[in-house]
Chains A and B, each alone.
Chain A
Amino acid sequence: MSAFLAAEAGDTTARTLTIILFLVFVAVTLAITVWASRQTKTATDFYAGGRAFSGFQNGMAIGGDYMSAASFLGIAGLIALYGYDGFLYSIGFLVAWLVALLLVAELLRNSGKYTMADVLAFRMRQRPVRTAASVSTVTVSIFYLIAQMVGAGALVALLLGIRPGTTFLGMDADAAKIATIVLVGALMIVYVTVGGMKGTTYVQIVKAFLLMSGAAIMTVLVLAKFNFNLSSLLGAAADASGKGDAFLEPGLRYGVDVADNARQTFYNKMDLLSLGIALVLGTAGLPHILIRFYTVPTARAARKSVLWAIGIIGTFYLFTLALGFGAAALVGGEEIRAQDAAGNTAAPQLAEQLGLDFLGGDTGGAVMLAVIAAVAFATILAVVAGLTLASSSSIAHDFYANVIKRGQTSEGQEVKVARIAAFVIGAISIVLALFAQSLNVAFLVALAFAVAASGNLPAILYSLFWKRFNTSGAVWAIYGGLLAAVVLVFFSPVVSGAPTSMFKNSDWQWFPLNNPGIISIPFGFLCGWIGTLLSKESDEQKYAELEVRSLTGAGAH
């Protein structure tokens, strides 16, 4: 019997349980948040959690911030529907951490204070650079936020057993999705405004623990179904997919060979390379990840936290293999597509099937579904809080305090602005998320990675390593890379002109690739280089200070 029919029998149980478990999570995390708020007295507490977290704690929190709905729901869904190609995401998302570890984490920790812009603006004129950094921080975070909200919408539809036509508490599918998105948005505003970085960090730690446990249990159960033989799991997934060995090979989703259409084949291959580059270069430009390095006391602790993060995240991405292929083998692509065309619900559907098989009957299925759905909600909520914190910090610290007030403001006033900004960002992302429901969340996050790698990474690397780099270069790098990425996405098949587009009935598409990285990332580096050469500005003393501080930790905040 299909998992879904069983779900309909047990879906009241699943709903009730999920709601209870989710409320427990919310209650626990809110308690943590309130507790953290009592410890939050200074701006350093609000922005950087008092810089008192250990390497391990921050490693867990980085895992919590990084393993988003994209990693859990998105990758599992892509593997379940397209087989091997989904695994590319896991690999890119993990390898990307080496860029952060080797080039960015420690130097940033030593030379910055609260935001990414602290490092970018260190030896530049403050106002133009901070404005640019603030714009790009908010842009990247909003791309990322949309993905999380879409994940939340897909989950709730699954939980409520809604395939178009059903209602829940008098709400149809769309109303329930909107209600969920608003609820998630409201909660994240509370976490951030009340708990600041300290509260948010503890929420990330709890969430990382829950997510790792949930994924580990599911992995063990999936493997147990196949006598712990990876090869038989893969074989069963390939058989169930109806695509045979092709399911285990690259090429079903990315870099597809189109017979008799050399041009399209070329575009497809370029799209694959573009995605690959965006994934590996994006991480070190994500503002919500970068500000995590400020929550530990020293560069050495920052290094340690990245090492922990690599261990935790790497292990999790190994689990995605079992989750994705397990969903393909045990739930089946047809069932998954029927629930969510982009595959975002494959992991919870798999949980339900595992519950049916191992705990017994509909109740077992409902219990597992409820547990995993609650974990997924926790995942989304935590990431959303991290993103909101990053953008509101940047608005308050970079834009308000240093651009508008030119540094003449009190820390209390700055934190107040950050809290207000969190409200605004929350509201904007809620509205935008309502337009993106048809897209896979891993794919949406890959766009955020492309924007981050194009707009932020060139400026960060140039400021840390290139003596000649100056204000003009930084502004060019950020706006150039950011604009290139956003404009190319806007004219890509993601937004219009294809059956899966956000606006499927319109067509203003002319850029052939789904991911802009292969063009926009080099363009960002190029802009930074040209912008630098166009200006004679050069502050050798400030560069000396930045270099000495970033390498030695002298004078670190």
Chain B
Amino acid sequence: MTTDAPAPAPTTPERYVEVQRSDEFAGLRKALRGFVFPMTAAFFLWYALYVILSAYARGFMDTKVVGHINVALIFGLLQFVSTFLIAWYYSRYANNKVDPTADKIRAALENGDKE
């Protein structure tokens, strides 16, 4: 760190509030919440649809597709597929869009701590 930068503040409660109110942090919060909240709603509804169909749409779930494989089984397996895909997609998103900003803010804070 260069010493002629403005004296870095130690991580006091005020410093946390200051960071929390910064635009950069607001961007980080938005990047994270903007992804995880809608995604949670999406997979929860998708899963709820599966459970509700199992309870109330037996005729549909019982439809045979190939041999003894019916809609219920395929629907269940699709829950596996969607879970794997969401996990993979989130990790890619977090690596690219969340981590760099988080690292930057953290570095600024911790360098402040050490002075």
Q: List residues of chain A with CB under 8 Å of any chain B CB.
A: 84, 87-88, 90-92, 94-95, 97-99, 101-103, 106, 229-232, 234-235, 238, 245, 248-251, 254-255, 257, 269, 272-273, 276-277, 280, 300, 303-304, 306-307, 310-311, 314, 317-318, 465, 540-542, 544-545, 547-549, 551-555
Interface centre among B16, B66, B84 (most CB of A within 10 A): B16
Given contacts A102-B86, A541-B13, A555-B11, 5 further A-B contacts (CB under 8 A): A90-B76, A234-B68, A249-B62, A255-B54, A544-B13
Bound CA–CA A272/B91 (angstroms): 32
In contact, A95 and B47 (Cβ under 8 angstroms)? yes
Number of interface residues of B (CB under 8 A): 57
Within the complex, the shortest CB–CB distance from A544 to chain B, in Å, comes to: 4
In the complex, which residues 47-106 of chain B have their Cβ closer than 8 Å to any Cβ of chain A? Answer: 47-48, 50-52, 54-56, 58, 61-62, 64, 66-70, 72-73, 76, 79-80, 83-84, 86-88, 90-91, 94, 99, 102-103, 105-106
| The residue from A91, A98, A553 contacting B87, defined by CB atoms under 8 A apart | A98
Q: List residues of chain B with CB under 8 Å of any chain A CB.
A: 11, 13-14, 16-17, 19-21, 25, 28-29, 32-33, 35-36, 39-40, 43-44, 47-48, 50-52, 54-56, 58, 61-62, 64, 66-70, 72-73, 76, 79-80, 83-84, 86-88, 90-91, 94, 99, 102-103, 105-106, 109-110, 113
In contact, A272 and B51 (Cβ under 8 angstroms)? yes
Bound CA–CA A158/B17 (angstroms): 61
* CB neighbours of B32 from chain A (8 A): 551
* CB neighbours of B55 from chain A (8 A): 250, 254-255, 269, 272-273
Bound CA–CA A276/B11 (angstroms): 44
Bound CA–CA A273/B56 (angstroms): 10
In contact, B56 and A269 (Cβ under 8 angstroms)? yes
Within the complex, the shortest CB–CB distance from B36 to chain A, in Å, comes to: 4
Q: What 5 pairs between A and B have smallest CB-CB spacing?
A: A231-B67, A276-B51, A234-B68, A544-B20, A250-B54
Interface centre among B13, B20, B94, B109 (most CB of A within 10 A): B20
Bound CA–CA A92/B51 (angstroms): 9
Chain B residue nearest to A545 in the complex (CB): B16
Within the complex, the shortest CB–CB distance from A192 to chain B, in Å, comes to: 30
Classify the interface of chain A: helix, strand, loop or mixed.
helix
In contact, B106 and A554 (Cβ under 8 angstroms)? yes
In contact, A552 and B76 (Cβ under 8 angstroms)? no
In contact, B80 and A91 (Cβ under 8 angstroms)? yes
Chain A residue nearest to B22 in the complex (CB): A548
In contact, A249 and B16 (Cβ under 8 angstroms)? no
| The residue from B11, B73, B84 contacting A311, defined by CB atoms under 8 A apart | B84
Within the complex, the shortest CB–CB distance from B94 to chain A, in Å, comes to: 6
